[in-house]
Amino acid sequence: MKIVKIIGGLGNQMFQYALAIALQERWKDEEIKLDLHGFNGYHKHQGYQLDMLFGHRFEAATLTDVAQLAWPYPHYQLWRVGSRLLPKRRSMLCEPSKGLLPSDVLKQKGSLYYDGYWQDERYFKAIRPQIMAAFKFPDFTDRRNLETEKRLKASEAVSIHVRRGDYLDDILFQGTCDIAYYQRAIARLCQLKTPVFCIFSNDMAWCKVHIEPLLHGKEILYADWNRGKESYRDLQLMTLCRHHIIANSSFSWWGAWLSKADDGITIAPQHWYAHDAKPSPAAERWIKV
């Protein structure tokens, strides 16, 4: 049995889920389960979303299952405290704190518990078709998203993701995707013949003041209607764009990575974090500015 811990917002959940799929592909006779107990008492983002969006693929591990391999935490707050105080057990495979890629993550035999975010495409790049198939969103049903879907598919669409809000005071991310980053990125993609820029953000007022002037009269769509439990629809719309300017966010990371436009251009920040201790998870083929 191998258990993958799932925690965080949708983008983080997708990275962990992709690791579980990669483990399933390599260990076809092994039971792969998900530890979802961290969502008890977890009030950030929209909670656990994977089954709702992508169907039920893996069984949820019980606390008894977890206890065989790792410390069983029935509540998010207990995990926050215990994960800092208790030592790693031998059957726990924890992501290195500096985010370096362990070469044997998918190769280790036996029952293991995987604890980390695993934000690196090299864990699952070799099975891209399987990942693309697994992350198939429910079809749009509302008029506004359907009309936007049609417009994005028919144009040289560019997604721009600007994440502010919770990032403004986060010492790990603050100050990395500043206005200078968007100036450099937009300058590259404004050279496209007839681009349509679709802006996604949790601070549209800021974007209209600071991003819109950089687009020099180009066509702009502000995707500002998908909220709450429907916020994932923004990520779904991103995947329909041919080109991408992403923030240092796992949300827009997946918006770009799941795009089917093989000839598209994705621009990512050169510095994903506010310090250089952790390497950037930006895909190798993307342009870093």
244-275 pLDDT, tens digit each? 999 999 999 999 999 999 899 999 998 888 76
**pLDDT over 80 (residue 221):** yes
pLDDT higher than threshold 90 for residue 173 = no
| pLDDT of 172 over the 60 cut | no
Mean pLDDT of the chain: 92
Q: What is the structure's pLDDT at 52?
A: 96
Q: How far is CA 136 from the centre of its chain?
A: 14
61 within 8 A of 35, measured Cβ to Cβ: yes
pLDDT of 278 reads 73
pLDDT in tens, 51-64: 999 999 999 999 99
**Hey, where are the domains in the chain?**
2-131, 140-288
Res 139 pLDDT > 90: yes
User: What pTM did the predictor assign?
Assistant: 0.94
- Whole-angstrom distance, CA of residue 96 vs CA of residue 109: 19
Amino acid occupying residue 66: V
**Topology of the domain comprising 140-288:** Rossmann fold (3.40.50)
Percent of the chain with pLDDT over 70: 92
Q: What is the pLDDT of residue 179?
A: 93
Structural tokens at position 228: 């709450």
Q: Can you give the pLDDT at residue 102?
A: 67
Assign 43 a pLDDT band (cuts: 50, 70, 90): confident
In the predicted structure, residue 241 carries a pLDDT above the cut 60: yes
- Mean pLDDT, residues 74-91: 94
Please name the residue ranges forming H helices in the chain. Answer: 10-26, 50-54, 63-69, 76-85, 128-134, 143-153, 179-189, 204-210, 232-239, 250-257
Q: Contact, 211 vs 162, CB < 8 A?
A: yes
* Percent of all residues in the chain with a pLDDT value above 90, rounded to a whole number: 82
Query: pLDDT band for position 217 (50/70/90)?
Result: confident
